Amino acid sequence: MNKKIERLTNETDTSYNLRVNFINLNNPKTKGEMDMCIMFSKIFVNVVLLECRYSTDIEKKLNKNSNKIKKIVKNIK
């Protein structure tokens, strides 16, 4: 699915680039998948940059969707 990913209000370049990479690497094919990727991209950025913690269910789903981007994260930290 080819959809422009909107920058959040006052979002830093690092955060935006992480979200875009997360979404692109997950390659959503439908609107539902895109919406899910956008949601998880925000959670992913919170975990990576702010070291936030979420419930076990959310973190399991996030890990399933974030395996492809772990190499990019190493370059940021």
Structure-token match 């439908």, residue found:
30
**Distance (Å, rounded) from C-alpha 72 to C-alpha 58?**
21
Alpha carbons 24 and 3: distance in angstroms, whole number: 10
Check residue 75 and give left, alpha or beta (phi > 0: left; psi -120 to 50: alpha). alpha
Q: Is the pTM of this model over 0.95?
A: no
Query: Phi/psi class of residue 5: alpha, beta or left (left: φ > 0; alpha: ψ in -120 to 50)?
Result: beta
pLDDT tens track, the chain, 77 positions:
667 899 999 999 999 999 998 898 888 999 999 999 999 999 999 988 998 999 988 888 887 767 666 665 666 55
